[in-house]
Chain A
Amino acid sequence: MTGLASLTTVFPGLVWAMAALALVQASRRAALWRLGTAASVAWLDGLAKLPRRYLVDVHHVVARDAYASRMHAVVAGGLLAASVLTALAILPPLGGFRPYWVLVAAAFGVTAAGSLLVGARRYPEKQKRLSAGRFQILPVLLVAYAVGGTVTALLLAFGGADGLLAPLALALAAAGGLGLAFEVRHGPMRHAAAGALHLVAHPRPGRFEGRPDTALQALDLDAPRLGSEVPADFAWNRLLSYDACVSCGRCEVACPAFAAGQPLNPKRLIQDLVAGFSPSEPAYAGAPYPGGRAAEGARGPLARLIGPDARIHPDTLWSCTTCRACVEECPMMIEHVDAVVALRRHQTLERGSLPEKAVGPVTDLRQTGDPGGRPLAARTDFAAGLDLPPISVRGEAAVLLWLGEGAYDLRYGRTLRALVRLLREAGVDFAVLGPEERDTGDLARRLGDEATFQALARANVATLARYRFERIVTADPHALHTLRNEYPAFGGCYTVVHHTALLLDLIRAGRLKPGRLPDLSVTYHDPCYLARYNGETEAPRAVLDAIGVNRAEMTRSGRRAMCCGGGGGAPVSDVPGERRIPDLRMAQAAETDAGIVAVACPSCTAMLEGVPDRKAEIRDIAELLLQAVEAGR
């Protein structure tokens, strides 16, 4: 029985050794995270909420890929259960109890099954979005650990531990298990350690409370360094979050810039940040930046990240539309957009190296309060012949209509005219700021010019403070997001409503009585800043249903819709790609055979209407509703 006795110690001992090795590897990693700047973290709260964040929020994202979800549940659940059970067997009463080992064997068996599922994604050929490299060994290590563990546990359960098989099985389990623990530093298993800690110390805990925590955080303009130039400029929990990346490539599949062949791949971007602060990181083994160059430049916590000769080319940085599709899809809850904006802030504020074509609009924003350098008083020109009262006359109104930059655009003026006529029809008491309305500064902020944004925000907040209104209504989701979510940091707290939500209210209250337009076939394109940034996907659809159009959904819709390419200053940065994002989106719309693509944002209108050879018409929800109201008279 000596063999059995020692095996009941050695086998659990192996798991304890694995734990110790994993701990060592994780703490070597933690030394790198500590290079980052300080961040305030609610540790106790985060720890208490970890299980919920993992089981609810992470699972919600993981479950979008049913196979991956099942695979992960089986393999991670099995691995954890088997390891914990084995570790507990160090206690003699358990280790000596044979039926206990049956239980352990079962857990290892489950792990083995899961390992095969992991392997099936990678062999004979790996799925396109996954990374190769060290990730290709993962199934091998898992199978070794699981099979070795199963056999060892079975031997302990049913005897035969003295035989020749026992050392072989144990050796196999040890090779696999220690391999897995070793991989916590540079390999695939890092995501487990960093991911769990990231969920505890997440920089946007609001995400887990069911509210869209999407506002960019205000930058302290008096800080000695503005934005992030080198990895050490990121907060430590941001560095930690990048380490959580499991290279699943879900973000890459969702990214419009990647699809358009622009030199951006969010997975690669995150991995470049990781490689930036971890000089001994193994080479990246996933899809590259489309058309981009191989990584160059020095690595290290103090090495410059952005530059033609640095790890990340400026074109990569400026390709991002800040659409948040990557964030939405990331099972590790990584905040790519925050990283992009932090890097942009440094480029813009400290180096003045905006993309050449973006300099003009940002300069105009700073000097005139409009990205086109147009007179503010001309914003209401679109409404010639309509009654558009300025709020300065009475000093108050129930609804303050925020016109936004779209008002200067001839095409979009049609939408706003429709909206104004609908408000009149419904007898809404509304007014506009007129020449007092400055741009919200959204463009400047997404392009990293936080100084201009803050100046505009303060000016607008001061203007708004002079008037009384119940809520702000706007047809521009970018303005909506900025006013609703980002102005509170500057002392402006308003109830901000998107025009589609207001119109739905008016229909439901019976103040608008639309007829039905059953002959129209419509598909609705969700604006990123409404759907993903603010979680509003239902009101526009409900309006369309209220006017009885034939509504079809695109494959990507709602919070998972694809961007039109119009956000984040991408149109002004204009980084060349192989295709154009709006063309891709219109092709997706064409798959529904709808004759009309309904939109709810001036940027989407402009981008989608600019698609050549488009078969479908582009109509704003307000325009369609007005048509229905007129048909109903």
Chain B
Amino acid sequence: MKIAILLSAGRHPVSGAAVLPRLEAQAIRLAAGLGQHIGLHAGPEAAVVAEALGQGLAHIQHAALPEEADPVPALATCLAALAPDLVLAGRRGQGGAETGIVPYAVADRLGYPLIPDIIAAAPGEEAGTLHLDQSLGRGARRRVTIRGPVVATVHPDAPASFAYAYGQARRGVIEPVVGALAPHPAPVPAVEERPYRRRPKLVKGAPAGSSAAERLKAATGEAGPASSGRLLVRPDPDEAAREILAHLRRIGVLAAPRDPR
């Protein structure tokens, strides 16, 4: 199996030093358990992702782009040439210019499906298929079996990354991608940048003015919409359909049934 890992130029949240984003380091570990893996970075400097060479990647392809250029077309071109079975990326950027949108844009351009938030990957029983375990939060997981090629983003709950090995980093190779990579102008309208401010979490369905205990219950899912449903395990299709209809009516998507005449 061939795996490509998208690497971004991250920054450490505390020190601001150029570092390999944690999620991408975790992605390398996931890939190492699967087969031949290679890193891919599009941006002005290759040095910023060199740290990945010490964390389990032996080989990185670097597509040199001018500052501010859109990395997506370059990444898509490289990926099309590499033809991997799986493309791994972090679920969000870490302080650098990249954002969590990149894997979606790449998948879209290549026409690959995207499976978000995976914490484990294994080859499926059938050749060419993959089992990807998604984290749904709060410990819940879902196994997806899919036929590659596929893009997947890595969730922080994936196994911790390998320790950095200086000796391996020395031996790793960063190979410039040769060939015409016409720089595309920045794709999106210039975004406004503001310093990060922690925002209060909106708790949906939190009863305003209720007690702290009730708000906590609402936030942790022991009350409110998450707890009001019914869990049906392998239901009869008719019953399942009735349940779905009832739910859609409860939340006002469908009109109430007309009175049977």
Cα distance, A253 to B147, chains bound together (Å): 61
Question: In the bound complex, what is the Cα–Cα distance between A225 and B166 (angstroms)?
Answer: 11
Number of A interface residues, CB 8 Å? 26
Nearest-neighbor residue (CB-CB) of A378 within chain B: B14
Q: In the complex the two chains form, is B14's CB within 8 Å of A373's CB?
A: yes
- Docked CA distance A226–B164 (Å): 14
A and B contact pairs by CB, cutoff 8 A, 9 listed? A226-B167, A348-B165, A349-B165, A350-B165, A350-B167, A352-B55, A354-B163, A363-B164, A452-B166
B19, B160, B166, B168 — which one has the most chain A CB atoms within 10 A of its CB? Answer: B166
- Tell me how far the C-beta of B19 lies from the nearest C-beta in chain A, rounded to whole angstroms: 5
Contact between chains at A368 and B163 (CB < 8 Å): no
Partner of B160, one of A353, A359, A452: A359
Q: Does A369 sit at the interface, judged by CB under 8 A?
A: yes
Within the complex, the shortest CB–CB distance from A316 to chain B, in Å, comes to 19
With a CB–CB cut-off of 8 A, which chain A residues contact B17? 367-368
Say how far A454's CB is from chain B's closest CB, in angstroms. Answer: 10
- Decide: B15 and A362 in contact? CB cutoff 8 A: no
Look across to chain A and name the residue whose beta carbon is closest to the beta carbon of B17.
A367
Specify which chain A residues have a CB less than 8 angstroms from the CB of B54 in the assembled complex.
352
Fill in one digit per residue for A204-246: 1 if any B CB lies within 8 Å of its CB, else 0: 0000000000000000010001100000000000000000000
The proximity string for A residues 30-51 relative to B, scoring 1 for CB distances below 8 Å and 0 otherwise, is 0000000000000000000000
Contact call A348/B19, Cβ cutoff below 8 A: no
> Could you tell me the distance between the alpha carbons of A333 and B166 in the complex, rounded to whole angstroms?
32
Residue total for B at the interface (Cβ-Cβ under 8 A): 16
Give chain B residues whose Cβ lies under 8 Å from the Cβ of A373.
14
Q: In whole Å, how far is A303's beta carbon from the nearest beta carbon of chain B? A: 20
Residues of B close to A226: CB separation below 8 A: 166-167
Task: Tell me the bound Cα distance from A374 to B164 in angstroms.
Answer: 19
How far in angstroms is the closest Cβ of chain A from B116?
26
- Least CB distance from B58 to A in Å reads 13
For the complex, what is the distance from the CA of A450 to the CA of B56, rounded to whole Å? 19
Minimum Cβ distance to chain B for residue A6 (Å):
65
Please give the residue numbers on chain A whose beta carbons come within 8 Å of chain B beta carbons, in ascending order: 221, 225-226, 348-354, 356, 359, 362-363, 366-369, 373-376, 449-452
Question: B12 contacts the other chain (Cβ, under 8 Å)?
Answer: yes
On whether the beta carbons of A348 and B163 are closer than 8 Å, the reply is: yes
Residues of B within 8 A of A354 (CB): 163
Cβ-defined contact, A350 with B164, below 8 A: no
Q: In whole angstroms, how far apart are the Cα atoms of A362 and B56 in the complex?
A: 17
Residue in B closest to A376 when the chains form the complex, CB atoms? B15
Contacts of B15 in A (CB 8 A): 367-369, 375-376
Q: Are B166 and A221 in contact (CB under 8 A)?
A: yes
Chain A minimum-CB-distance residue to B166:
A451
Shortest Cβ-Cβ A-B pairs, 5 listed = A352-B165, A451-B166, A350-B167, A368-B15, A352-B163
B176, chain A: closest CB distance, angstroms:
24
B19: chain A residues at CB < 8 Å are: 367
A221 CA / B170 CA spacing, docked (Å): 10
Q: Which residues of A contact B55 (CB under 8 A)?
A: 352
Interface string of B10-38 (1 = CB under 8 A from A): 00101101010000000000000000000
Q: How far is the CA of A225 from the CA of B14 in the complex (A)?
A: 33
Question: Does the CB pair B167–A349 fall under 8 Å?
Answer: yes
Smallest CB separation, B25 vs chain A (Å): 9
| Residue among A350, A363, A369, A374 facing the most chain B CB atoms (10 A cut-off) | A363
How long is the Cα–Cα vector from A349 to B165 in the complex, in angstroms?
5
CB neighbours of A221 from chain B (8 A): 166
Residues from chain B with a CB closer than 8 A to the CB of A376 are: 15
- Kindly identify which residue among B14, B163, B166 contacts A359, using a CB–CB cutoff of 8 Å: B163
CA distance A348 to B165 in the complex (A): 6
What separation, in Å, do the CA atoms of A373 and B17 have in the docked complex?
12
Question: B144-164 interface mask toward A, CB cutoff 8 Å, 1 = contact, 0 = none?
Answer: 000000000000000010111
Partner of A449, one of B12, B56, B166: B166
**Complex-state Cα separation, A373 to B19, whole angstroms:** 13
The winner among B12, B165, B168 for most chain A CB atoms within 10 A is B165
Among residues of A, the one whose C-beta sits closest to the C-beta of B171 is A350
Contact (Cβ within 8 A) B166 A349:
yes
CA distance A320 to B17 in the complex (A): 32
B78–chain A nearest beta-carbon distance, Å: 27
Nearest-CB distance from B14 to chain A (Å)? Answer: 5
A359 to B162, CA, bound (A): 8
Decide: A351 and B14 in contact? CB cutoff 8 A.
no
